[in-house]
Structure 1
Amino acid sequence: MRALAAMTPAQRLALWEELNDELEEMEVRAIRRQHPEFTEHELQVEIVRRRHGEALTQAWLTNALWVTR
């Protein structure tokens, strides 16, 4: 905790971004291991579903499909 307290806000933000990127990469690898057949689109849908739940994912997909028509 002292190490974090000694950091500037910019340093803490940079560390958070690095850790967040690593976590996202781990999440993608885990999904790819579980579902190697997924297309890039299916992978993105699964990420949204895991992070935000089924209801928001369906709303997002419905909106995304409506916008692209």
Structure 2
Amino acid sequence: MTIYDNYNTPADIQNASNLSKDEKLEILEKWEADEMALIRAASEGLSGGEDNQLKQVRNAIAAVKEQD
């Protein structure tokens, strides 16, 4: 279980009204690290079958950083 399991997409975290900007960034940055680990594993021939969401995570991080 991860800290972002309760969210279907990175945009759900980005738009969550119950989270502060810092909390959103913490969750999204953890998600980003996990996505990067999955990509590294896939490049080594190991794959969990999940779709890569790195671009969506990075877009959400950028959007949160721009929030007031």
TM-score normalised by the shorter chain: which range applies? 0.3 to 0.5
TM-score in terms of structure 2 length: 0.44
Higher relative contact order (CA 8 A, sep 6+): 2
Q: Which has the larger radius of gyration?
A: 1
TM-score in terms of structure 1 length: 0.43
